Structure 1
Amino acid sequence: MDNRLGFLLVCLIVRTTANMCRLNERRHYYWLSTFDNMAMTTPSSIAEFTKKTKETCAQACNDNSSCALFSINSIRGECRLLPAFFPAPILSPLPGVRFFYRGSEECPYYKGYIALDNPPGCYSTRWVKKNWTDAKTDCEGDGGHLVVLEDMAIRMRLLNALQYFPNATEGVFIGLDDIAVEGEYVWADSRVLVNSFWAPDQPANSTDENCMTVFTDGLHDERCELAMYYVCQIDI
């Protein structure tokens, strides 16, 4: 099995309830059981607490706009809040640690989609490299599209997550291209790029670099036939 979030999910019926956590009726936290007690990369947490239960840790995640996953040690009551677009495999070195991620009835959680607010949407980082066209087809097969980053909040979440990639030079394909008309950048939802965030010396404006990617330094244009990781989005 590869290590990407979407394919490693084993979503059981174990979940916190809306009443217990005062959550939105459609929001649940699903158990990422495959990540339990695996020796993998340590994530960077948003916040850490002690003396929490699964329910109170879920509430803390729900109350933090940057949180999309949390871990809870049932033995010690240690709660860690983790960011959206979580990019790296998780280290759970202690017995009793379990990971949960935010889902909703609108998001296909069994495919690794995390539910985010502001703006609302479902997002999944794909950990199998594909060329831009195949990545686009994969996202559309889920009823979505490659991620749109016109919104500042979503853009900053992804840029922040990229710094935790196992290889800091890795980027991801996004839903932006100038395939139809050179130099006219159009998002997957048909909007034109307005809030640009080009990296230094970008775009190269080469006629064979028509598919956009995001690295830690910003937006790049790349060849569509390159194989890269990518992020899918489903609008809700």
Structure 2
Amino acid sequence: MASHLIQGRTVGMPVRVRDAEVCSAFFPVRADAARAVIAYSGLDVAEVLPGKAVCVLLFVDYRDGDLDTYHEFGMAFLVRPPGAAGSVGLGDLRRAGVFVHWLPVDQAFTLEAGRTLWGFPKELADIELRLGSPYKRCVLRKDGRLVLDLLIKPGAPVPGATAMAPLDAYTHREGVTRRVPWTVRARGARIRPGGALIRLGNHPIAKELSELGLPKRAMFSSSISRAAMTFGEATQV
């Protein structure tokens, strides 16, 4: 089994998360604007509708895992897998990969591990999660400036334990694009149309989101009260 040394600690692969709470919202955005945002990666967005790509905003409370406990926020885009022929339509989202454009966290160990092991674009930020009420809320600040305030209302339950199809996450760091195999097993999953309310701040990332044409209404939102995940060894694309 491969292993890596991070801050004097040995981290084995795959990296395992045993318990996390995950909330996410999927927004339709202008494909041309999204394509320009991620052009540096060499990847192309998946146009799920003509002229429309999908921006995924998510926040996670990692409660038990190999990289300790921490909070995380993610800004990602659904992308066509490298070399894939044809388009990825709304009914075929399982074929899409997820390109992680920005991934602030609130702890230094996971910051270094994420950058070193997979090339994740992790930065330190102030991530306030409020998960104890019927509404799930994330208030994200970076360098003392509000990035966003995201509120998600959980929807209808998805019964039982759900082993989601393996996903490919993509990252780009220091000129290299990588593929990261990622699996998720979910308990307490809920989903609903819409279900998200967002307020943007005055940080440059908020401006970037605004320029994507982020609508007031999400396509759909989801929440997982107990998620277990594995992240495999990254490979260069």
Normalising by structure 2, what TM-score? 0.25
- Would you tell me which structure has more strand in proportion to its own residues? 2
- The structure, 1 or 2, with the larger RCO (C-alpha pairs under 8 Å, 6+ apart) is 2
Normalising by structure 1, what TM-score? 0.25
- Would you tell me which structure has more helix in proportion to its own residues? 1
Q: Based on CA coordinates, which of the two structures has the bigger radius of gyration?
A: 1
